Amino acid sequence: MIDIKELTWQGLWKNNPALVQLLGLCPLLAVTSTAINGLGLGLATLFVLMGSNITVSAVRHYVPNEIRIPIFVMVIAAFVTIIQLLMQAFTFELYLALGIFIPLIVTNCAIIGRAEAFAAKNDLLPSAYDGFIMGAGFALVLVVLGGVRELLGSGTLFSGAELLLGAWAVDLKITFFVPDNPFLLAILPPGAFIGMGLLIALKNILDPRLEAKFAPKPEKIVERARVTAES
Amino acid sequence: MQFSLSSSPHNRVRRDTASVMRAVCYACIPGIMAQLWFFGWGVLIQLILAIATAVVTEAGIMKLRKRAAKHVLSDYSAVLTALLLAVSIPPLAPWWLIVIGTFFSIAIVKQLYGGLGFNMFNPAMGGYVMLLISFPLAMTMWVPVQNMAIYPYDFADALSVIFTGFSVSGYDMTQLRLGVDGVTQATPLDAVRSSLLLGETYSEALQASIFNSDSGFAYGWSWVALAYLAGGLFLLWRKIISWHMPLSMLAGVIVTAAILNMLMPDATGGILFHLLSGAVLFGAFFIVTDPVSGSTTPKGRIIFGVLIGFWTVVIRTFGGYPDAVAFAVLLMNIAVPLIDYYTQPRTYGARS
């Protein structure tokens, strides 16, 4: 049985791989200089996460417990190689822009974490959905952080969308202002750290409000009614 | 007859945070006067902008944190941070520069860590480094010493340049930066650095018009540094700051500069040049003595100061930026917990 609502809530917010588990911070901080870079790496990670979750879940009964980690890593590495070759073939400029961080998806702890914590214990369909929604949560943070840094640093949003989506996407670029002195801090690595810290703080502020609204309510556990009155 | 007993200390100095902060502000006055005299009214406008931004930011954050703003504002620490930042940036820098810098100093470097007493890093230097790496061009736009400039500016010009980029008579920064010899003037450190990069030796670099003599004394610039030294001595005399950090920092600068200058006399300045240019004297008395972000043990303060002096000269000589006091201070701020841990004084009576 898939509890879609619970899985979605966990992946996108409650247990978000980037904001709460703080996994995969290296690519998260390194490539988010623009929203499109973030989206590219986010989609690649999402694909790998789904693929590895499905495969791990499918073979989980045949994998000896003692050597499961190397096998999971092999599976992940295979999917990363696929995505790397695909990106090299179809989005070559984005492939160049992301550089070393595509092969480094192998080392993203969020992926092996989900394989070990979820896929290795659950059926195929829930695992696939978990991979998808966790990947989506990761990609979402990448895009938001990239967008904020791009907006502060160069005053644009979605510049370079054509690298990912094809020539028509040139028009997606929104220019808010053209800074005479670009705010370099936002584009440089320290901006990523500060921006990430502020995003986590924002999440912690929003938490109590959203929790009340969206979190799946725990079922009421009916305790045995008291039959004898206190005397 | 009954005598009431109170525990020691009996002879206390009645001095609270606000009076210490105010005294440090007053001690800046000679330096600020020297800057006004040599670099014009821009300094004053930057000061006003910075202090206004700092007070508004601090009050805003206190409101967000649901604390009483009045109590926190009346300790003058935000004013002091703003003041230290404002005298560090170019006098005719555009208005948004000091506003962004002060906001960053107060909101991010100070209040996000929990406010006065909890900040790991020196707020003024945190803001300064942020500005330096974010807006390197605007942060190097220093005007020449005013009686050596082709186009000296007055108060109305300063207002106009800071808010619009052009003076009342229509000059822009490129023209305002021209010296009497028609060459754009840089800071002494910049001048030496760029001629070293051109392959000249240090003694050739000192032939630039900005220096009076071969010793590295730059007219105007070094006077400002000496004025801050006077303010610093006042603080020492009033026992607002202890001698440990300023003297050890200066010792660190002197020793490191002497060694480096002996090893490679063509590639780095002498002792006097390092002491009198840039922010060394200002930093030694007004920046490293910050009681919050510095080391707290006596031995630790000496280590802290010496290493700041060491890093200042090393980064100036080998690093990518002309001045390095801010970087050195931030680097050593990170090391403070470690220094404090290893230099805890022995409790009286305990065996070491």
Q: Which residues of B touch A194 (CB under 8 A)?
A: 108
Residues B145 and B245 occupy one common structural domain: no
Q: In chain A, which residue's Cα lies nearest the Cα of B112?
A: A198
- pLDDT at res. B53: 96
Residues B22 and B157 occupy one common structural domain: yes
Residue B352 pLDDT class (50, 70, 90 cuts) = low
Of residues A109 and A75, the one with the higher pLDDT is: A75
Q: Would the pLDDT of A203 be above 80?
A: yes
Nearest to B108 among A181, A184, A194 (CB): A194
Q: Which residues of A touch B135 (CB under 8 A)?
A: 181, 183-184
Q: Which residues of A touch B98 (CB under 8 A)?
A: none
Q: Would the pLDDT of B64 be above 70?
A: yes
Residue A179 is assigned to a structural domain of this protein: yes
Contact A42, A135 (CB under 8 A): yes
- pLDDT at res. B75: 86
Measured CA distances, B277 to B7, B230, B246, B255 (Å)? 49, 16, 16, 16
List the 179-198 stretch of A: residues with Cβ below 8 A of B.
Answer: 181, 183-186, 188, 190, 194
Give me chain A's average pLDDT, please. 86
- pLDDT at res. B29: 94
Residue A231 is assigned to a structural domain of this protein: no
Contact B199, B82 (CB under 8 A): no
Which uninterrupted H or E stretch holds A138?
Answer: helix A124-154
Residue A19 is assigned to a structural domain of this protein: yes
Residues B22 and B166 occupy one common structural domain: yes
Last residue in a domain, options B160, B185, B210: B185
- pLDDT at res. A74: 93
What pLDDT, in 10s, does the model give residues B84-128? 999 999 999 999 999 999 999 999 999 999 888 899 999 999 999
Residues B180 and B268 occupy one common structural domain: no
- pLDDT at res. A156: 86
**In this predicted complex, what is the ipTM?**
0.78
Residue B52 is assigned to a structural domain of this protein: yes
Residue B168 is assigned to a structural domain of this protein: yes
Last residue in a domain, options B185, B219, B243: B185
Residue B319: which domain range?
196-342
Name the percent of chain A lying above pLDDT 90.
Answer: 32
Residues B169 and B20 occupy one common structural domain: yes
Residue A228 is assigned to a structural domain of this protein: no
Give me chain B's average pLDDT, please. 88
Q: Do the chains contact at A181 and B138, CB–CB below 8 Å? A: yes
Q: Which residues of B touch A188 (CB under 8 A)?
A: 133
Work out how many domains chain A is built from and give that number. Answer: 1
Residues B31 and B86 occupy one common structural domain: yes
Contact B106, B65 (CB under 8 A): no
Residue A200 pLDDT class (50, 70, 90 cuts) = very high
- pLDDT at res. B209: 67
What pLDDT, in 10s, does the model give residues A97-114? 888 888 888 888 888 988
First vs last C-alpha separation in chain B? 46
- pLDDT at res. B174: 78
What pLDDT, in 10s, does the model give residues A163-184? 777 778 788 888 888 877 788 8
Last residue in a domain, options B185, B213, B229: B185
- pLDDT at res. B215: 67
Q: Do the chains contact at A184 and B137, CB–CB below 8 Å? A: no
Q: Do the chains contact at B137 and A188, CB–CB below 8 Å? A: no
The number of C-beta contacts closer than 8 angstroms across A and B is 17
Residue A225 pLDDT class (50, 70, 90 cuts) = low
Residues B215 and B300 occupy one common structural domain: yes
Residue B311 pLDDT class (50, 70, 90 cuts) = very high
Contact A214, A9 (CB under 8 A): yes
Residue B349 is assigned to a structural domain of this protein: no
SS3 content of chain B, % helix, strand, coil (to 5): 60, 0, 35
- pLDDT at res. B23: 92
What pLDDT, in 10s, does the model give residues A8-31? 888 888 888 888 888 888 888 888
Q: Which residues of B touch A183 (CB under 8 A)?
A: 100, 134-135
Nearest to A181 among B108, B130, B135 (CB): B135
Q: Do the chains contact at A183 and B138, CB–CB below 8 Å? A: no
Residue A220 pLDDT class (50, 70, 90 cuts) = low
Residues B163 and B244 occupy one common structural domain: no
Which of A184, A199, A205 has the most B C-beta neighbours within 10 Å, making it the best mutation to test the interface with B?
Answer: A184
Residue A223 is assigned to a structural domain of this protein: no
- pLDDT at res. B325: 93
Residues B338 and B230 occupy one common structural domain: yes
Mean pLDDT of A193-217: 83
Residue A68 is assigned to a structural domain of this protein: yes
Q: In chain B, which residue's Cα lies nearest the Cα of A195?
A: B108
Residue A8 is assigned to a structural domain of this protein: yes
Residue B3 is assigned to a structural domain of this protein: no
A74 at interface of B, judged by CB pairs closer than 8 A? no
- Angstrom distance (rounded) from CA B59 to CA B115: 12
Work out how many domains chain B is built from and give that number. Answer: 2
- pLDDT at res. B217: 77
Residues B211 and B333 occupy one common structural domain: yes
Mean pLDDT of B43-67: 93
- pLDDT at res. B214: 64
Residue A185: which domain range?
4-213
The string of DSSP letters for B253-280 reads HHHHHHHHHHH-TTTS--HHHHHHSTTH
Residues B180 and B203 occupy one common structural domain: no
Residues B159 and B92 occupy one common structural domain: yes
Residue A182 is assigned to a structural domain of this protein: yes
What pLDDT, in 10s, does the model give residues B208-264? 767 766 666 778 888 899 999 999 999 999 888 999 999 999 999 999 999 998 998
Residue B320 pLDDT class (50, 70, 90 cuts) = confident
